[in-house]
Structure 1
Amino acid sequence: MNRLILPRRTLLAGAGLLASPGLLRAQGAWPDRPVRLVVPFTPGGSTDILARAMGAELQEALGQPFVVENRPGAGGTLGSELVARAAPDGYTLMMGHIGTLAVNPSLYRNLSYDTVTSFAPIVLVANVANILAVNPRKLPITSAQELIARARANPGAISYGSGGNGSAAHTAVVAFCLATGIELLHVPYRGTGPMMNDLIAGQIDMTMTGGPPILPPVRAGLLRALGVSSLQRLSSEPGIPTLDEQGVAGFDAVQWYGLVAPAGTPQAIIDKVNAASAAALRGDKLKPRLAAEGADAAPGTPEQFRQLIIAERARWGEVIRRANVTND
């Protein structure tokens, strides 16, 4: 893991020996201009959907636009690097998730930033169960058991899509294969949106990704949901059984999403965004909206979010090593 080497000016500023006008303004009347909310993926995926929902709530609560900026590339590392290097003045935030903050450190050996020390965690926004879904015309099955049986009889014949090598969908299916002893054919895409388009069109057989992009086509009958990756059924879709219920004992592969800022962002700003986010996530407007999309609001403290990132880095690093997952 590469350490982030900060220039002398940044180190002095972090030590309180140098304060730019921007930082002084941020510590006072923040925000007094629009805030950039970076999504390190293409539009249409869970990260983008949740960022836009949170951005609207924060704009209403804090009185300034929260402008979502999609910066996809290299499994989310390009957008993450941009945020890690941004001025720590509260005007650049990122909607991070399990892939960018927990998986990528094991997948990319030469990151120019560290997902713990280069970011200031603000708030865990939501936990999102992955949904195992198939194109019913390409793969006319109705349960996870049928999928497992077919895969065992035809190793590597069933294709699944993801938002890219090492993406949350990719690693979730890798964990599923390790748990069941099956082999599936991975087809990586440049984002969840393009993958979903091809899945609906029948170019690939299946996926296992977060609820927000997958539930609308499931409800429209374009895809068939076989199971959810959490240990509890979705409150919004109680008819979809868990994979644990279908014989994949203890299987639990849930995506999570949260806001982070560049390291060194004033604590007063972190606390202000945390409080506004928590109020929105517990409110009667956003919480049911997220639940309808398969996302469970999960606000907590910045320190709780930091501990989650550390624990999940270790957990998914082990999965990546066992399965020899690479970003090639």
Structure 2
Amino acid sequence: MANTSLKNKKRLWLGLKTAHAQLDLAKLMFFYGDSFENHQIYELDEATEILKHPRFDATKETTLYIHGYIETPEVESIHVIVDAYQKNGDHNLLVLDWGELADGNYLLDAVQNAKQLGPKVATVLIGLFSNGLQRDLFHLVGHSLGGQMSGMVGRSIFKKSKETIKLKRISALDPAFPPFYPAIGTTAISKNDAVMVDVIHTDAGLYGAPRSTGTVDFWPNSGKTLQPGCPKRDYKLLTDIGLKDLCSHRRSWRFWAESVAAKDTPTFHAVKSKSWSDFKKFRVDESYIIQMGLNCPETARPGDYYLQTNGDQPYSKGINGITYEKNENVVFPTND
């Protein structure tokens, strides 16, 4: 009996034992107008009612944003993202509020809940597509564990639709590292989860994915901690101390929000290169310069793209960001 108990505990920690999540705790928030208060909350099973809202514009692109671990609609990241889309003005913005399911123990609760909620959200989206939401105008964006869930949603849609529906684009903002690399009872987001999967790395190897995982992967400032402007921190992953300072991990959604608010203004130019080391030596392919963020072209050549940013807003250096400039006040990682 003792051995059986120990085996079950190991399965729990490895993320192999299914938890029974209350999926109805998750809600969809539809934002409209010019302030955060301008939103309406919907149960997942009544999501098609969103399409009937007088402020929903079927001719605009619809974005669904999925937040990360231990986040709720009250946190700064959601407010910054919502504000950016409201400034842009060209999108219907939906936010998946799964705050109660994204809480608790990271491995035992949040990851397990994400694995069950992803397929549920896929079913909801298939229903929306069947009721008039245009697939070609839909964009899924997720941060951290929400970035990994975005991949789960994309895979589930493809499977549930018997391979007839594939999301046009998924953007993952520093998708979560553990327990996806290596995969332990999970599957990491990949280029196969949508027609186009673009990934922004800002804390690679700590809280964020340690390697390329999309169609196009962006590595601003090497893609690793510490990002310019971020303070030194304790490296005690998944602890109360470690969670107090996630500056580099959070920088991904700050970059994203800036690109959204800029609308049609070119920002965050990035250049194709084999590594950060090559980028610093300007061993780059200048024929492949694209923008990181909202305006990343869906026709971008697959591969890794590098750039530098400022340590504070505005973070974008524009076209100057593709030419490495040594900053005496910033210590960049030396490894590739």
TM norm structure 2: 0.29
Please identify which structure carries the higher helix content: 1
TM norm structure 1: 0.30
